[in-house]
A and B are shown apart, each in its own frame.
Chain A
Amino acid sequence: MRLSWVELRDFRNHRETRLDVPDGVVVAVGPNGEGKTNLLEGMHYLLDLASPRVGSDLPLVRHGAQSGYVRGEVETMGGRVLVEVEVRAAGANRVQVNRSPVRRKRDLRGRVRGVFAGPDDLAIGQGDPDRRRRFVDEAVAALWPARDTLPRAYEKALRQRNRLLRDWEGAPGQAPAAIEAWDAELVETGSALTRARAEAVARIRPPAAEEFLALTRHELRVSYRPSVPVDPSAPDGLEPGRVEEAFRGRLAERRGDELVRRSTLVGPHRDELELSLRDLTVRAFASHGESWAAAIALRLGLSSAVAEALGEPPVTFLDDPFSALDPERRHRLEGRLAGRGQVVVSVADEGQVPASAAAVWDVRGGVVTPRAGGEGRRAVQ
């Protein structure tokens, strides 16, 4: 699929930006803080209705404005999709798809898809297990939008059960009343999440390994290690009832410990996505460049997996992908960007603009100026 044009009004530092977007590799170039990441973020927002930047406290709406607007049109195999978002400084955002309001993210995600990789992703390899679980859950939502409720459903069951264990005032060795009811909810929501994560990782693993090998000439091993004792790679490991049975069994084994520790000790909140390199975990041993290569490989792997599932590539966004790579790897990554549909890249340095770019946009102070020349480099300001 391809975003054919985009318009940002009062979005972050963009007062009014309107661009035609060609297929292939599109590059936004400019110093940091001038608005190139904001541009990628706005474009991605049209496909996902969520900001990929965690921990950014800056408001989405430009200073002084009541609302910011992001509009654009996506050409997909299923037809054109016009997306219009009003981001409000106060109150809920308004989203229209083909002029009809939509309430849920998945109503849009069912029709268009974007995959975003940015500097925050360095934490996938180097951060806590929680960050890797979040990546897998993002992958689940990108692959199967209808399953995007699974993490929250599980988290809610987990919080209820944890509170029950924490607040329970009973004799040692005795279980709180209704614990079985919460076990059942934990097992139901948790098994669905375990299955979804296992399936997502199985789809991402081959393309991610391929990207990493192409970038670094090393093997990256990606494996999902669920807390529930099932073997996701066994042919019948995820059969209906199998995960549930294993989950219930392990809960029964840990019941005594749970009553002492007053917390849920089994379930997807303790899953691990293992990333290893030369038989060592990325977290402990990889260099900065290798951690970044792993993150990029995972995101590009996800992009490929989505393309495989959909029958057409999603729009892929790479925010500042080259800075952390040495010149050789930079060159190899450039080579991996062709042939995967529309890829929107931001770079801080003129020297990082790939020669294959279908369009180059200069970004300064929230103003985007397309460079002249070449098919698709035409744009309206």
Chain B
Amino acid sequence: MYEGPIQDLVDELSRLPGIGPKSAQRLAFHIVKADPREARRLAEAIIQAKERVAFCRECGNVAEGDLCRICRDPGRDPTTLCVVEEPKDVVAMEKAGVLKGRYHVLGGAISPLDGIGPEDLRVKELLDRVEQDGVTEVIVATNPNLEGNATAMYVAALLKPAGIRVTRLASGLPVGGDLEYADEVTLGQALEGRREI
């Protein structure tokens, strides 16, 4: 334990995901020892990101403003939605560049062990959009692991009774991995070869 501002900084840093007490200490001392301008740039970047970046009210992707770039684009087909776990998955899918529709970011996957149930995800928002926008197909592109698959099953069970075509990316993605680690060609092929759940 340290005193005053350095301990405050350690405490704040150790609240970040993936940062344990040891790493927090190392980061804190790095910042304290750094050039004052460097520390100021970091603080400024955090404040700017927090103030200017918001989440798109339609799809949940990161956005500068009310709607994200994709939801603002009239060229994107609103009747096809691609459901992903996190905004970084939108980035991965966009790099593949084959989706003509729009996205819906759930904000995670269901995982009882992590205390995440369907009510913690943007599932209700998905159902609302499907109803209001005349969506005909929902492509579930959650991660190809246990939690991603269970989430896909759950979403499919909700949407299929409404007559929506629900598809899942074709296998070929690295099993157990994350969408963001799949290369663009593989991702494009997985999308082309999607199958109905």
Measured CB to CB, the residues of A under 8 A from B are 149, 153, 156-157, 159-161, 163-164, 167, 176-178, 180-182, 184-185, 189
A91 smallest CB distance to B (angstroms) = 15
Is B80 an interface residue, CB under 8 A from the partner? Answer: no
A160 in complex: contacting residue of B119, B146, B153, B154, CB < 8 Å: B146
Residues of B within 8 A of A181 (CB): 110, 150-151, 153-154, 157
Residues of A within 8 A of B113 (CB): 159-160, 163
Is B117 an interface residue, CB under 8 A from the partner? Answer: yes
Contacts A176-B117, A182-B112, A184-B153 known; 13 new A-B pairs at CB < 8 A: A149-B176, A156-B146, A160-B112, A160-B113, A160-B147, A163-B113, A177-B118, A180-B153, A180-B157, A181-B110, A181-B151, A182-B150, A185-B153
Residues of A within 8 A of B149 (CB): 184-185
**Chain B residue nearest in CB terms to A188:** B149
A-B contact pairs, 13 of them (CB 8 A): A157-B146, A163-B112, A163-B113, A164-B112, A177-B154, A178-B117, A178-B150, A178-B154, A180-B153, A180-B157, A181-B151, A185-B149, A189-B146
Chain B stretch 92-134: residues in CB contact (< 8 A) with chain A: 110-113, 115, 117-119
The answer for the CA separation of A38 and B39 in the assembled complex, in Å, is 53
Residues of A within 8 A of B157 (CB): 180-181
Residues of A within 8 A of B117 (CB): 176-178
B173 smallest CB distance to A (angstroms) = 16
B112 with A161: CB separation less than 8 A:
yes
The answer for the CA separation of A69 and B142 in the assembled complex, in Å, is 41
**Chain B residue nearest in CB terms to A153:** B146
The answer for the CA separation of A182 and B109 in the assembled complex, in Å, is 12
Residues of B within 8 A of A163 (CB): 112-113
The answer for the CA separation of A218 and B57 in the assembled complex, in Å, is 73
**Chain B residue nearest in CB terms to A162:** B112
Bitwise interface map of B from 131 to 155 toward A, beta carbon under 8 Å scored 1, else 0: 0000000000000001101110110
The answer for the CA separation of A316 and B117 in the assembled complex, in Å, is 48
A178 with B146: CB separation less than 8 A:
no
The answer for the CA separation of A153 and B113 in the assembled complex, in Å, is 15
The answer for the CA separation of A177 and B157 in the assembled complex, in Å, is 11
B126 smallest CB distance to A (angstroms) = 14
Bitwise interface map of B from 55 to 72 toward A, beta carbon under 8 Å scored 1, else 0: 000000000000000000
Residues of B within 8 A of A160 (CB): 111-113, 146-147, 150
Residues of A within 8 A of B111 (CB): 160
Does more than half of chain B's interface fall in helix, strand or loop, or is it mixed? Answer: helix
Q: What interface size band does chain B fall in?
A: 10 to 19
Residues of B within 8 A of A167 (CB): 112, 115
Bitwise interface map of B from 31 to 58 toward A, beta carbon under 8 Å scored 1, else 0: 0000000000000000000000000000
A214 smallest CB distance to B (angstroms) = 43
The answer for the CA separation of A189 and B149 in the assembled complex, in Å, is 12
**Chain A residue nearest in CB terms to B153:** A181
A209 smallest CB distance to B (angstroms) = 37
Which are the 10 A-B pairs with shortest beta-carbon distances? A181-B153, A163-B112, A164-B112, A181-B154, A181-B150, A178-B154, A184-B153, A163-B113, A185-B150, A160-B112
A263 smallest CB distance to B (angstroms) = 13
Bitwise interface map of B from 143 to 175 toward A, beta carbon under 8 Å scored 1, else 0: 000110111011001000000000000000000
B158 smallest CB distance to A (angstroms) = 10
B114 smallest CB distance to A (angstroms) = 9
B54 smallest CB distance to A (angstroms) = 29
Residues of B within 8 A of A153 (CB): 146
The answer for the CA separation of A176 and B110 in the assembled complex, in Å, is 13
Bitwise interface map of B from 6 to 25 toward A, beta carbon under 8 Å scored 1, else 0: 00000000000000000000
The answer for the CA separation of A153 and B176 in the assembled complex, in Å, is 9
**Chain A residue nearest in CB terms to B149:** A185
A319 smallest CB distance to B (angstroms) = 34
Residues of B within 8 A of A156 (CB): 146
The answer for the CA separation of A149 and B177 in the assembled complex, in Å, is 14
The answer for the CA separation of A252 and B146 in the assembled complex, in Å, is 21
The answer for the CA separation of A378 and B110 in the assembled complex, in Å, is 61
Residues of A within 8 A of B153 (CB): 180-181, 184-185
The answer for the CA separation of A291 and B42 in the assembled complex, in Å, is 66
**Chain A residue nearest in CB terms to B150:** A181
The answer for the CA separation of A167 and B113 in the assembled complex, in Å, is 10
B157 smallest CB distance to A (angstroms) = 6
A185 in complex: contacting residue of B115, B119, B146, B176, CB < 8 Å: B146
Residues of A within 8 A of B119 (CB): 177
The answer for the CA separation of A189 and B153 in the assembled complex, in Å, is 14
The answer for the CA separation of A157 and B149 in the assembled complex, in Å, is 11
B25 smallest CB distance to A (angstroms) = 19
**Chain A residue nearest in CB terms to B155:** A181
**Chain B residue nearest in CB terms to A189:** B146
Residues of B within 8 A of A185 (CB): 146, 149-150, 153
